[in-house]
Homo-oligomer: A and B are copies of this chain.
Amino acid sequence: MLKLEVALGERAYPILIGESLLSDGKTLPASISAQDILLVSNTTVAPLYADRVRDALQDRRVVDVRLPDGEQHKTLDNVSRVLDVLVANRFGRDSLVIALGGGVVGDLAGFSAACYQRGVAFAQLPTTLLSQVDSSVGGKTGVNHPGGKNLIGAFHQPRVVISDTATLRTLPARELRAGLAEVIKYALVFDVAFLGWLEQHLDDLLALDAAALAHAIYRSCELKAQVVLRDEHEQGERALLNFGHTFGHAIETATGYTEWLHGEAVAAGMLIAADMSSRLGLLPASDVQRVRLLLQRAGLAIDPPRMTASRAMQLMGVDKKVRAGRIRLVLLEALGRARFTADYPDDALAATLTEYFD
């Protein structure tokens, strides 16, 4: 088992990563001290793993909530439903909410925990690669609004994150690859040595080798934690984590958040951002090629949907990363180093968008 301590002062917590941590009968009871536990999951994940969690915590009171599966259910109405269950069971301030599932469950359960009695403890048991490398660190919780994603939420740190790599065996291959997009993102933005490691071990990761998965998750969380610690409430540097996301956002919005997985859109967005970095002379074309090759091997080199550059720009414009009317972008200065900037010629952006979307 690998253990990463996220050193957030009095809100510090450990991320535990390893094979079969949910079923080993000791990691869960040793990590969670609460007696009253609300287990929030969804109708896909609960039948696979809820019993393991219940068995491991058989000496506690565990109440179950199963939400329907899918991003469209990440709503304030479902938060209300979770809160109803907490109230109906008279859970006190010393209770704990477990999120068992992917990012939707984690975001919604975490926000419910943040709101209940002005904040009760919560624990994340992420069962997708994306949530293991992304939602585990940063304390962002929340739900969508018909007017935009994640518009309602809170910063609320978990008490513990337990990433059981065995749960990835039941994850659809497409979702595993989408999760790898975020892993690759950390390497591209922060750590060229990790990029080299990923190039070497990509086949192991796709084959679900436990040791390779654990290392990839550990290093991703570590890189994200370093940024979050320096910028907990997202004032500056944390924006670098949005590499590929602004372009990806245009793809997701254009396709109504249904056809493309988030990671797939981010992968396409990263390639576009790398290409634009190259057009600006920041990055050699050979490095763009290296990015493209790795994404291809991961099954992530997917052509964006066709649209005009101006339409893409418009879709990017509704993104939260807009300041004073001008789109700020995360660009690569080198493999493993990024910058967040509004300082680029408009025609370079237009040319890039035309190249990829038109």
Contacts and interface: CB of A to CB of B under 8 A. Distances in A.
A83 B114 contact: no
B114 A151 contact: no
Nearest to A86: B151
Interface of A, secondary structure class, is mixed
A118 B155 CA distance: 6
Contacts of A76: 76, 80, 83
Contacts of A147: 84, 87-88
Q: How many copies does the complex hold?
A: 2
A88 B151 CA distance: 12
A152 interface: yes
Interface residues of A, number: 28
A142 interface: yes
Contacts of A117: 151, 153, 320
Contact of A115 (B87, B118, B119, B152): B152
Contacts of A150: 118
Interface of A: 76, 80, 83-84, 87-88, 92-93, 114-119, 140, 142, 145-148, 150-155, 233, 320
Across chains A and B, which 4 residue pairs bring their CB atoms closest together, nearest first? A87-B147, A118-B153, A115-B152, A87-B145
22 contacts: A76-B76, A76-B80, A76-B83, A83-B151, A83-B152, A84-B145, A87-B146, A87-B151, A88-B147, A115-B142, A115-B152, A115-B153, A115-B154, A116-B151, A116-B152, A117-B153, A117-B320, A118-B140, A118-B142, A118-B154, A118-B155, A119-B233
